[in-house]
Structure 1
Amino acid sequence: MPLYLLHFAQAHNDFRLPELASVAELLGISYTLPEKDEDRDPTRPYMVVELETEEHAKMLARRCILIKAAYEFYAQGPSYEVLHEANRKCEPLWRKYVEDTSFKFLVTAYSHKIPMERQRDAIETFAYMGFLGKIDMKNPEITMVCFEEYKDRTQTPRQRNEGDGDFRQIFFGRLIEEGSARPLVRHFDVKKRLFYGNTSMEAEVSLLMANQSLASSPTFRYLANPGKLVYDPFMGTGSMAYPSAHFGAMVFGSDIDGRQMRGKQQTPGVVRAASQYGLASRIMDLAVFDITRNPLRCGELFDAILTDPPYGVRAGAKRLGRKKSLPEYKKELSRQHRLAPDPEDRPYIPPTKPYELSHLVTDLVLFARYVLKPGGRLVFFLPTVTDEYEEVDVQTMLCNGMEVIANSLQDFGSWGRRLVTIKKTTAEKYYPPTFEDREMVTKDEHVPAHKDFREKYFQGFRKVEIETPQVAFREG
């Protein structure tokens, strides 16, 4: 298959390949990554992939949030001599542009600024290509770009032009498509949104999650066609809803606390923010309930569940119930209070208790298996302690018929959050799950690193040593 050069944005390195795989599956695109681990390293800004057609490269650039641009690949090498030798061998690819095509040549670099004089010298080395068309720096018919890849030195102070020419690799190709999905990050910027809170997810990450879910139309918006149905069981201020709706999905959301979705105005805040983006018609409905006491009476409703469960740093997870059981007489008073009409017409707010994170995510996977259609995806964030995390932590939350598709880390140092994508791989129907309280841990049960994450976070992830009491024994 023909080769194409993908230029990635330098953000969320660990998310690049999972997003590429998801979007390719959504669009029905076949691709092949480089064989060498060095060439498929997701921390590098450039990657050469095999695609069937140029149109497929354009489609990926239009949909992948982390692709800045796609190029027809001509050559690469550790030096300009090697690059030019390889470029001469692929002359049939660029010969058709020589005679009468207006063009522009660019020489640029990653993690380095090339002096203008050396840029001109580098461009002159391509003189053998013999382009006869007009040089047009504003609206050329083709743009030829040469990339010098330097080691990442963004955090290293250095003198101007220091290390110039000490590049790792050079790539050369013709620009096919600039990434048109990247501007959506600014379009959905939380700071410009009419309704948001302290737990609102940043726009770039919510867009990535929407792509991971596959629950959207193949192009940006097919408003005339029925979209897939996405559900967010921890809706909050609706950060997950807007990208999914923009990509063509219908969105249903719920939360145990309706105030998070409503805000203080008569029109719910989630609906107001969706109206800002012209997406209010794609918000199907908002409901207030606890997923462990959900009113859903049948399964296989949704194409995807896309959510960011609360883990207690800025907002703690809650479920219905009390921390301590009430005595019988207080239970009776509470029951009478609920049944008696309130003279001030105040809504009844049921009591809640903390919902431990490790229990929450295990229940979320069970819940997803029940309400997802076969092949549907559950996409959510899981906070982890860097020094304690093990792969088995994610595996222990799975149940039959659910399989991990991707597990990408957003690293914050001592802790991070993992974007976990789980697919429903079974067509078997299941009864509605029951969510019992789980307090005791059996001796052989694995304790995941995300258990009691809130307490670990506020302790600074220090390991708490348990002192063994000193016991004195007498002889005899």
Structure 2
Amino acid sequence: MPSYLLVFAQSHSEFRIPELESVAQLHGFAITLPVDCDPSRPFMVLDLASEEHAKLLAGRCILIKHIYEFYAQGGDYEELHVANKANGHLWSSYAHDTSFKFIVTAYNHKIPGSRQREVVESFRYMAFAGKIDMKNPQIILGCFEEYDSSIALRQDRDSKFRQAYFGRLVVDGSARALIKMFDVKKRLYYGNTSMESEVSLLMANQALASSSKLVYDPFCGTGSMAYPIAYFGAQVFGSDIDGRQMRGKAGKGKLPPGVLRAATQYGVADRIVDLCTFDVTRNPWRCGDLFDTIVTDPPYGVRAGAKRLGRKKELSEDKKAANIEHQMSARNKEEPYVPPTKPYELSLLAADLVLLARYLLKPEGRLVFFLPTVNEQYEEVDIQSMLCDGMVLVANSLQDFGSWGRRLVTIRKATQESYPPPCFEEERDPGARIPAHKDFREQYFRGFKKENDL
């Protein structure tokens, strides 16, 4: 199989492999990762069945900047040139009359112009006789030096790279342009909890969003997840306990308010099936196996906490009677009635979400959601303990913010069995392990210090 050099964007390193595997699955082919694969490194040599597969990955993977046909690599240029000469059959057909451009660049370092010329001249044995065309070449040859980020930046480290790679450009990553397209700052409707565009696109890829699929967001909010998923062709159904976030306020002009305003901006309003207001623990779904994917960013309390219907304390009989009177008065005056809510603790929410997904997902469907955790307290069992029969973990990628992080969790329904609607318990087993996301909001606002340390 031909080999290709993947050049990644310098962000979200833990998301690279899950995205690659998801996009490959979406397009119906499998990839085999190198034995020594290190997702934290910005370059990866990957065997693919064809150049067409490389183009499919570059057209959908948000974290891919470029894909090159791989010619050689080495710990120094002597080793690289030996390998490149051995692979002359890959590039010799371009040597006679093909216009070309040569680029030399580095990760975590800036190569002086004088040494860039030295590197280019060291490839003279390839004997390219075509025209050098810096604006519109037929092929682009690239040489990449990878420097260790742990080494302090200093002038005398030039040429002391960890590894150098060489190849021919096959395709630039076109999907990264969507990050600007879905930029929240340019969106016509957004809120203080709207997901940043790059991450929402990564979630859409994990969700395998594509045409003919029906996707559900049970914590829709201002619709951050709906737009990229609908852009990739899926039909989206959204719900939230607070419908005001989805509906928004009518503004000037002919555009609809709320989520539909931004959906119209992106040309995907016809793919928003509906937006409904209800508590996910008291949902109206009367049958399961409905959705191909459930993808959501549950509220975890930093800007807005999760809520469920109910009260922290039960009302006295007198207050219940007065409350019923107030409801009737509001209806008579056609005022909107906002039912009382109480906090929905994150660890309970996460466990309930997995149960809801098992009920609502079709076989092989995916649940994709973010889960914030305290890094110092986190253990793998925190995620594993949320799983239930029929649900298996696909990926768990960390976006690290220092003392805490949020994990993009992907879970698959690995059973053909149908399950009854879940019972959303309000109490947890007192003997169970306390996960790193338990009472996350409280931990966040006390700086992740233990209560007895305050």
Q: Which residue number in structure 2 is paired with residue 472 of structure 1?
A: none
Q: Which residue number in structure 2 is paired with residue 253 of structure 1?
A: 238
The Cα of 1:268 is off from its aligned counterpart by 3.0
Q: Which residue number in structure 1 is paired with residue 313 of structure 2?
A: 324
Q: Does the Cα contact within 8 Å between 2:237 and 2:273 map onto a contact in 1?
A: yes
Aligned mates of 2:145, 2:388 — CA distance in 1? 47
Aligned residues: 450
Paired residue for 2:393, among 397, 404, 420?
404
1:81-160 correspondence to structure 2 within 5 Å: 81-152=78-149, 156=152, 158=154
Q: Does the Cα contact within 8 Å between 2:346 and 2:437 map onto a contact in 1?
A: yes
Normalising to structure 2: TM-score of the pair? 0.96
Aligned partner of residue 348 in structure 1, secondary structure: coil
Paired residue for 2:46, among 40, 45, 49?
49
Q: Counterpart of 2:452 in structure 1: which amino acid?
A: E
Aligned partner of residue 175 in structure 1, secondary structure: strand
Q: Which residue number in structure 1 is paired with residue 384 of structure 2?
A: 395
Aligned mates of 1:34, 1:287 — CA distance in 2? 45
Q: Does the Cα contact within 8 Å between 1:31 and 1:51 map onto a contact in 2?
A: yes
The Cα of 1:5 is off from its aligned counterpart by 0.5
Paired residue for 2:373, among 375, 380, 384?
384
Q: Which residue number in structure 2 is paired with residue 450 of structure 1?
A: 437
Aligned partner of residue 236 in structure 1, secondary structure: coil
Aligned mates of 2:153, 2:173 — CA distance in 1? 31
Q: Which residue number in structure 2 is paired with residue 25 of structure 1?
A: 25
Q: Which residue number in structure 2 is paired with residue 241 of structure 1?
A: 226
Q: Which residue number in structure 1 is paired with residue 161 of structure 2?
A: 167
The Cα of 1:26 is off from its aligned counterpart by 0.7
The Cα of 1:342 is off from its aligned counterpart by 3.4
Aligned partner of residue 59 in structure 1, secondary structure: helix
Aligned partner of residue 89 in structure 2, secondary structure: helix
Aligned mates of 1:116, 1:59 — CA distance in 2? 34
1:280-429 correspondence to structure 2 within 5 Å: 280-339=269-328, 342-429=331-418
Aligned mates of 2:234, 2:119 — CA distance in 1? 47
The Cα of 1:396 is off from its aligned counterpart by 1.3
Q: Does the Cα contact within 8 Å between 2:330 and 2:336 map onto a contact in 1?
A: no
Normalising to structure 1: TM-score of the pair? 0.92
Q: Does the Cα contact within 8 Å between 1:8 and 1:69 map onto a contact in 2?
A: yes
Q: Does the Cα contact within 8 Å between 2:237 and 2:275 map onto a contact in 1?
A: yes
Deviation sequence 1:396-430 (CA, Å, 0-9, x none): 11111111100000011110000000101111111
Aligned partner of residue 267 in structure 2, secondary structure: coil
Aligned mates of 1:139, 1:18 — CA distance in 2? 35
Q: Does the Cα contact within 8 Å between 1:263 and 1:269 map onto a contact in 2?
A: yes
Q: Counterpart of 2:124 in structure 1: which amino acid?
A: A
Pair 462,89 (structure 1): closer, same or farther in 2 beyond 3 Å:
same
Q: Counterpart of 1:141 in structure 2: which amino acid?
A: Q
Aligned mates of 1:314, 1:65 — CA distance in 2? 27
The Cα of 1:118 is off from its aligned counterpart by 1.0
Aligned mates of 1:466, 1:7 — CA distance in 2? 45
Q: Does the Cα contact within 8 Å between 2:2 and 2:50 map onto a contact in 1?
A: yes
Q: Which residue number in structure 2 is paired with residue 229 of structure 1?
A: 214
Q: Identify unmatched segments of 5+ residues in structure 1.
A: 218-226, 468-476
Aligned mates of 2:327, 2:284 — CA distance in 1? 20
The Cα of 1:464 is off from its aligned counterpart by 2.1
Deviation sequence 1:54-108 (CA, Å, 0-9, x none): 1111111111000101010000001111111110000111111111111111111
Paired residue for 1:69, among 42, 66, 71?
66
The Cα of 1:336 is off from its aligned counterpart by 4.3
The Cα of 1:282 is off from its aligned counterpart by 1.0
Aligned mates of 2:65, 2:29 — CA distance in 1? 19
Deviation sequence 1:135-183 (CA, Å, 0-9, x none): 11111111100111111269x554xx44211111110000000000011
Aligned partner of residue 422 in structure 1, secondary structure: strand
* Identical-pair percentage: 66
Q: Counterpart of 2:218 in structure 1: which amino acid?
A: P
Aligned mates of 1:233, 1:464 — CA distance in 2? 33
Q: Does the Cα contact within 8 Å between 1:111 and 1:153 map onto a contact in 2?
A: no
The Cα of 1:14 is off from its aligned counterpart by 0.5
Deviation sequence 1:295-342 (CA, Å, 0-9, x none): 111111111011000011100110000111112233233334434563
Deviation sequence 1:214-257 (CA, Å, 0-9, x none): 1314xxxxxxxxx2111111011111011101111111101000
Paired residue for 1:180, among 174, 185, 209?
174
Aligned mates of 1:291, 1:301 — CA distance in 2? 15
Aligned mates of 1:74, 1:125 — CA distance in 2? 15
Two-structure CA RMSD over aligned residues (Å): 1.6
The Cα of 1:114 is off from its aligned counterpart by 1.0
Q: Does the Cα contact within 8 Å between 1:30 and 1:52 map onto a contact in 2?
A: no
Aligned mates of 1:213, 1:49 — CA distance in 2? 23
Aligned mates of 2:419, 2:286 — CA distance in 1? 12
Aligned mates of 2:357, 2:270 — CA distance in 1? 25
Aligned mates of 1:302, 1:308 — CA distance in 2? 17
Q: Counterpart of 1:356 in structure 2: which amino acid?
A: E
Q: Counterpart of 2:157 in structure 1: which amino acid?
A: G
Q: Does the Cα contact within 8 Å between 2:399 and 2:407 map onto a contact in 1?
A: yes
Q: Which residue number in structure 1 is paired with residue 450 of structure 2?
A: 463
Pair 132,396 (structure 1): closer, same or farther in 2 beyond 3 Å:
same
Aligned mates of 2:413, 2:324 — CA distance in 1? 40
Aligned mates of 1:359, 1:30 — CA distance in 2? 35
Q: Does the Cα contact within 8 Å between 2:96 and 2:128 map onto a contact in 1?
A: yes
